[in-house]
Amino acid sequence: MQFLEKIWKLLFLAQMPWQLIAAIVVIFVFIPCAVVKLVPCLLVILLYIISFTANVIIWFFLFTESQVSQFLRKCNKNPPFIVYIAGDALVTLKKSIEFLLSKAKSFSPKKWYSLPFIVVFAYFSYQYHYIDILFDNTVRYWHELNKYTHYKVKDGDCLGKIAQQYHVPMPVIISENSSRYPSLTSDPDDISKGWVLRIPRYYSSGIKND
């Protein structure tokens, strides 16, 4: 404390060049030290904020998904577009959490200011577990189930007509179905009645189905 008082007096009461020396010490020594000690605390706060946000998204999405499921069972319709948006948001959130957790691990436990990371890592891993379960069991299920529609070929159908109907390029339809119907690659017009073609949804909207 006495040392800080001396620095304070040098900054405001001493004459030049002592004021300049004191200012340099504060700028290049004390401020960096303070930042080094504060950064871990700020990152811990950030992790808690993201954890809280993740929980809000998770429980909201679970509630929404439940309501959507009930609605779909009654109306026999496909999930609304918000399901795909929520899925992409959760994937992004999952990647962000993985990045932050890797950063938290990089702090040495031998440093006193790393101690909060040990505590928050255990807590945050518990929260992350629920995000992972939600992604695996809910988002992936909806995405895989509904990113394709199926079309049963009728008399008089041709691949160009089907592609135009669903606004999907013919090469995409051929690529999606060539393993099941190899003749598509050599003669796209050679399709037979009764074939069930897999058509990517929302392709024309710019959403890729990886």
Whether the per-residue pLDDT at 208 is higher than 50: the answer is: no
Q: Both tokens of residue 117?
A: 């990371």
CB neighbourhood size of 54 (10 A):
21
pLDDT for 204 equals: 43
Residue 189 binned pLDDT confidence (cut-offs 50, 70, 90) = confident
* C-alpha–C-alpha distance, residues 168 and 204, integer Å: 6
- Structure tokens given for 133: 């379960």
What is the per-residue pLDDT for 25? 60
At 206, the pLDDT band (50, 70, 90 cuts) reads: very low
pLDDT tens for 57-72 read 666 766 666 666 666 6
One-letter amino acid of 48: Y
pLDDT digits over 136-181, tens only?
655 555 555 556 778 889 888 888 888 888 888 888 888 888 888 8
pTM, two decimal places: 0.33
Report the alpha-carbon distance of residue 170 to residue 184 in Å, rounded.
10
More confident site: 8 or 163: 163
pLDDT for 209: 40
pLDDT at 207 (0 to 100): 38
For the stretch 75-91, pLDDT in tens is 655 555 556 566 666 66
